[in-house]
Amino acid sequence: MKINFKILVILFFLFLGGSSTLVHALGSSDVNGDGKVDFSDLVSVIRQFTTSGTQPADVDQNQKVNSLDLTYVFKSFASITPPPSTPTPTGSTGCTYPSQILNLTNWKITLPTGSSGSPTEILQPSLATYTIDPYFKVNSNCTGVQFRAPTNGVTTSGSGYPRSELREMANNGTTLASWSTTSGTHTMIIDQAIMAVPTGKKHVVAGQIHDASDDVIVIRLEYPKLFIDINGNDGNILDSNYTLGKRFTVKFVATGGSISVYYNNSPTPAQTISKSTTGCYFKAGAYTQSNCSTESSNGATCGANNYGEVHIYNVMVTHQ
């Protein structure tokens, strides 16, 4: 028997363009009876070229085995549609809205815009598709969310300072979060960097626990000193010479009537305080600790280009 290897090679490469194992749709083309039509059936036909009689290789049943049988076998597997491939999952959900970077399900944001004493607030579900440049937007390389509060920004009625800051919510953002330090365990982790401080009074708050009446404990930068502030009193220093743009993590854990703050994933708290209080909630973002009056007192001019800014790369809250 003489085998035309050119035909064999051509068919082999044509076969490689499809599936290497395709379920047989036409029984007679399964020459070797293994339940599928593939390259081995082509080889079986070629090996029996020029023979005659009724046999599996005689696919067209014309009492001889030749190139026509080879064609029938090839058509049988070449015409079968391979199973659909599994789509490759995408690695990102987008880079348009802050909610595509951070899980904002149980947050609302207070912005440095609006009217005096009544700043703009965005709640769910609107928050899921909300962004406003430059106060609350995805950062330039799509790795975090930019929070910016200019020194001339609108403030709440209870504060003299502007903010672009998240306030913890509950029930998918429909109600205000409110928990006790004496019941359960309440944790917030923020991965962030403080990017800018005002030019006059260089103070920014970046993360806090608030209770029903006032802030309880916050992360504060009085540039260049980054430290824990306990209701207006200096706590332990986290970084005595903080550099703007330096990324760091803080973790607040409130349980059993105490609050611990951890810095840069240390297993040992940077500070623990005793505090039994209710009506608590977490906050994260940029709370600029200056305004037009304090900037003027420090020889600077307030305005849109004089601001505090924080980038948050991740913020996670759990309650147990």
Q: Any alpha helices (H) in the chain, and if so which ranges? A: 5-16, 39-47, 67-78, 292-297
Domain annotation covers residue 308: yes
Q: Do 131 and 193 form a contact (C-beta atoms < 8 A)? A: no
**Residue 263: what pLDDT?**
98
Count the Cβ atoms, other than its own, within 10 Å of residue 320. 7
Q: Do 271 and 265 form a contact (C-beta atoms < 8 A)? A: no
Residues 269, 274, 276: CA angle, nearest 5 degrees: 130
Domain annotation covers residue 88: no
Domain annotation covers residue 89: no
Same domain, 236 and 181: yes
User: Tokens at residue 127, please?
Assistant: 């928050």
For residue range 179-234, list pLDDT tens digits in order.
999 999 999 999 999 999 999 999 999 999 999 999 999 999 999 999 999 999 99
Domain annotation covers residue 83: no
Same domain, 48 and 127: no
Domain annotation covers residue 92: no
Domain annotation covers residue 26: yes
Decide which of 78, 107, 131 is a domain's last residue: 78
Residue type, 13: F
Decide which of 78, 113, 142 is a domain's last residue: 78
User: Average pLDDT of 138-142?
Assistant: 96
Same domain, 164 and 305: yes
Domain annotation covers residue 84: no
Token pair 């803080």 is found at 250
> Residue 109 pLDDT more than 80?
yes
Q: How far apart are CA 39 and CA 77, in angstroms?
A: 9
Token pair 């928050």 is found at 127
Q: How far apart are CA 115 and CA 122, in angstroms?
A: 14
**Residue 60: what pLDDT?**
56
**Residue 203: what pLDDT?**
98
Half-sphere exposure of 9 (CA within 13 A, CB side): 3
Instruction: Pick the closest to residue 129 from 161, 165, 93 (CA basis).
Output: 93
Q: Which domain holds residue 242?
A: 98-319
> Residue 23 pLDDT more than 60?
no
Give the 3-state secondary structure of residue 115. strand
**Residue 65: what pLDDT?**
63
Decide which of 32, 47, 78 is a domain's last residue: 78
Q: How sure is the predictor about 239, in pLDDT bands with cuts at 50, 70 and 90?
A: very high
> Residue 169 pLDDT more than 60?
yes
Give the 3-state secondary structure of residue 103. coil
Same domain, 227 and 124: yes
Please state whether the peptide bond connecting residue 198 to the residue before it is cis, i.e. omega within 30 degrees of 0: no
- The residue that leads in pLDDT, 154 or 48, is 154
**Residue 94: what pLDDT?**
83
**Residue 206: what pLDDT?**
98
Residue 122 maps to which CATH number?
2.60.120.200
> Residue 286 pLDDT more than 70?
yes
Q: How far apart are CA 164 and CA 65, in angstroms?
A: 81
Same domain, 166 and 231: yes
**Residue 54: what pLDDT?**
52
Q: Please report, for residues 188, 221, 228, 253, 256, the alpha-carbon distance to residue 272 in angstroms, rounded to integers and kept in the order given.
A: 15, 19, 10, 9, 12
**Residue 131: what pLDDT?**
98
Q: Strand 203-210 vs strand 281-288: parallel, antiparallel, or unpaired? A: antiparallel
- The residue that leads in pLDDT, 161 or 10, is 161
For residue range 52-105, list pLDDT tens digits in order.
555 665 655 666 666 666 565 555 554 444 444 434 333 346 899 999 999 999
Same domain, 265 and 146: yes
Same domain, 68 and 105: no
Tally the domains of the chain: 2
Token pair 């995408």 is found at 90
Most confidently modeled of 10-14, 40-44, 178-182? Answer: 178-182
Same domain, 297 and 176: yes
Same domain, 161 and 310: yes
Instruction: Pick the closest to residue 73 from 103, 37, 97, 109 (CA basis).
Output: 37
Same domain, 51 and 176: no
> Residue 46 pLDDT more than 70?
no
> Residue 39 pLDDT more than 50?
yes
User: Tokens at residue 65, please?
Assistant: 């085995």
DSSP tag of 290: -
- The residue that leads in pLDDT, 12 or 172, is 172
**Residue 89: what pLDDT?**
37
**Residue 36: what pLDDT?**
61
**Residue 4: what pLDDT?**
55
DSSP 252-268: EEEETTEEEEEETT-SS
Domain annotation covers residue 267: yes
The share of the chain scoring above pLDDT 70, in percent, equals 71
Please state whether the peptide bond connecting residue 112 to the residue before it is cis, i.e. omega within 30 degrees of 0: no
Residue 70 maps to which CATH number?
1.10.1330
The share of the chain scoring above pLDDT 90, in percent, equals 71
